[in-house]
Amino acid sequence: MKLIIAAIKPFKLEEVREALTAIGVRGMMVTEIKGFGSQSGHTEIYRGAEYAVNFVPKVKLEIVVNAAMADQVVETIQKTAKTDKIGDGKIFVLDVNQAVRVRTGEINDDAL
């Protein structure tokens, strides 16, 4: 099993969710986050005063899938979340040793 963590632009969330559902992803966790990467934030003007915005709003997706499906999920997120502008996000793939469904006690692939 693989854990896929993706940080994407918030306005892309629904489009990415629909694309992942279409390829068979049955669940995900979503968290609103703030961060910065190569863009290192930006400056904005509010009521005539300029100030630095050091952290940019993002959405973090956490998805656990069987290993055979991981590449397809990564490719789907990459294609769907891409805007060709700086700050599109990152995707990380990690190994998962065990998953347990709390309600039934099912483990690993059965728990997904």
**For residue 43, what is the domain's CATH number?**
3.30.70.120
Write out the residue range of the structural domain in which residue 75 sits: 2-111
| CA-wise closest residue to 77 among 96, 93, 54, 98 | 93
Q: What is the pLDDT of residues 10-63, one digit of tens each?
A: 999 999 999 999 999 999 999 999 887 776 666 666 677 766 767 788 999 999
Q: How far apart are CA 58 and CA 32, in angstroms?
A: 6
Q: What is the pLDDT of residues 49-78, one digit of tens each?
A: 766 767 788 999 999 999 999 999 999 999
Q: How far apart are CA 51 and CA 56, in angstroms?
A: 14
Q: What is the pLDDT of residues 74-108, one digit of tens each?
A: 999 999 999 998 889 999 999 999 999 999 999 99
The domain total for the chain is 1
